[in-house]
Structure formats: C-alpha cells, structure tokens
C-alpha cells in the first residue's frame, strides 16, 4: 500500500507544478492559492508512505536510496510550509515541485526493481536515528536554498531582458531572495550540526560514511563564514548554494 501513497504524492506534485505553470501564463494567475493546498496534500501522502515504510522496518525509514530520496523530498516540503511564507517566498513551492517530483520518480523506479524489503535493526539506536533524521532535514533546507538560488537567476535574467514576463511580477524582490537564501543555509547548517553531534553519541563509533556528512557540514559552514566576512554578491552566493547542494546530493548514499 505504501507504494500507492508514494505514487499519489508524486502525481500531486507534478499536477501542482503543471497547474501553477499554467496559471502563471493565464490572465488571472492563481499561484498563491495553489501552492499551500498542493504542498499539504503531497505532504500527507509522503507522510503515509514514510509511516508505512517505518512500520515495515521498525525504524526511521531511511534504509535504502529510495527512502532517503523521499525523506529529503518530505523535508523540502516541510521546510517550505514552515518557512516559505515567513521568508516571503510564495513561489518557492512552485520551483521546488519539479525537484521533489524527480526525486520521488527515481524512488518509485528504484523500489519497483530493487526494493530490499524489511530491514529491521538488531538493536535500535536513538542517537543513530536522530543523526540520520536531522541530517536529512538539513538537506531539505539546503535543497530550498538551492531552489532560491535558481529563482535568483530566473529573476536576474528577467530583469536583464528588459521585457519581464508575468513570472517576474509574481516573484519576491531580489533582496528577499538573497536574505532568505542565507537564512535557509544557516537553518540547514544548524540542523546538520545537531545531526553530527548526535553521531558521537551512537553506540557504534562514527565510520567513514559519517566523515562525508562532516565534509558537507564543512562546505556549508565555509560558505556561511566567507559570506559573513566578504559579503558575497547574490549571484555568487546563488551559484555556491546550488553547487553545494549538488555536492550534498552526491553524499546521500553515505548517510
């Protein structure tokens, strides 16, 4: 049954993106009215899928690559619902939906062909669960930071075209994007810090895979420190956030 929930969640985000894109082209855009309901509906299906997989394994459902991708997608949606309005980024959900759809589509294909089945732990280590969960929640914030970086480039291109379209007038001012991007990076780094600290309390000593998580943390801390010292231009900050998230995605299999 959990695979049905994953399919429904994936179709929800695809449908939401298509409707939002269509409304942006129409005479009466309704993007703001679509974002939250679609995100909530998709989140419900994601949560039901993760609940089912959690019951199957008897632990946090991050036992294979597909579940990790869904958990990261779930984290992205959670972060959007929690922070999107506060950061004045109403279109953040529209821009993140294609990424969530792609992640979950890969997860569906993976589970169809390579689902390893139940993988209950010999002993449940709450510190390990906290480490993994907080790390993946951090990836959700980092994912939204990367999306905010993409939004900056879209808006910058619209400005330079001298003929901005309807999308331009639906987006927040560039200064809001830059501020929100930094805040998302900081929130992600705080969550990842908690995850890394939890790793040192695990029953088993951190292994080489956890060193990779440390490398991701170091990359983002370095980015924030450089920005705090030199005040990076928004374009460079956007490029850095997108690049850093691409690097973080490459490390998912090690979590």
Q: What is the pLDDT of residues 19-35, one digit of tens each?
A: 777 766 665 555 555 67
> Higher-confidence residue: 88 or 132?
132
At residue 208, the pLDDT reads 63
Query: Does the pLDDT at position 109 exceed 90?
Result: yes
Average the pLDDT over 104-121 and give the result: 89
Least confident of 67-76, 102-111, 172-181: 172-181
> Higher-confidence residue: 170 or 154?
154
CB 238 within 8 A of CB 152: yes
Task: Show Cβ contacts of residue 193 under 8 Å, excluding neighbours closer than 6 positions.
Answer: 217
> Higher-confidence residue: 245 or 166?
245
Residues shown for the chain: 255
Question: What burial class does residue 27 get, using C-beta atoms within 10 Å of its C-beta: 0-12 exposed, 13-18 middle, 19+ buried?
Answer: exposed
Task: List the one residue out of 3, 19, 121 whose CA is nearest residue 70.
Answer: 3
At residue 166, the pLDDT reads 65
| Reported confidence tier of residue 71, pLDDT bands at 50, 70, 90 | very high
**Residue linked to tokens 């929640």:** 137
pTM of the predicted structure, to 2 decimals: 0.90
| DSSP 8-state code for residue 205 | P
- Torsion of the alpha carbons at 5, 85, 97 and 149, rounded to the nearest 10: -140
């Amino acid at each position: 049954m959990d695979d049905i929930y994953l399919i429904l969640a994936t179709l929800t985000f695809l449908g939401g993106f298509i409707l939002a894109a269509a409304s942006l082209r129409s005479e009466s855009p309704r993007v703001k009215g679509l974002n939250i309901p679609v995100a909530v509906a998709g989140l419900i299906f994601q949560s039901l899928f993760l609940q089912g997989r959690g019951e199957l394994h008897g632990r946090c459902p991050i036992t294979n690559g597909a579940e990790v991708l869904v958990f990261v997608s779930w984290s992205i949606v959670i972060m959007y619902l929690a922070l999107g309005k506060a950061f004045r980024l109403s279109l953040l959900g529209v821009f993140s939906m294609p990424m969530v759809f792609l992640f979950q589509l890969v997860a569906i294909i993976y589970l169809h062909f390579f689902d390893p089945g139940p993988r209950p732990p010999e002993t449940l280590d709450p510190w390990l669960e906290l480490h993994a969960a907080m790390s993946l929640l951090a990836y959700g914030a980092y994912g939204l930071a990367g999306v905010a970086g993409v939004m900056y480039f879209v808006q910058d291109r619209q400005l330079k075209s001298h003929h901005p379209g309807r999308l331009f007038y639906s987006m927040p001012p560039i200064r809001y994007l830059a501020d929100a991007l930094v805040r998302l990076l900081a929130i992600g780094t705080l969550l990842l810090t908690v995850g890394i600290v939890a790793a040192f309390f695990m029953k088993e000593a951190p292994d080489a895979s956890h060193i990779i998580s440390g490398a991701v943390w170091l990359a983002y801390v370095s980015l924030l420190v450089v920005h705090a010292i030199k005040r990076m231009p928004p374009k460079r900050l956007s490029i850095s956030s997108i690049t850093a998230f691409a690097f973080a995605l490459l490390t998912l299999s090690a979590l």
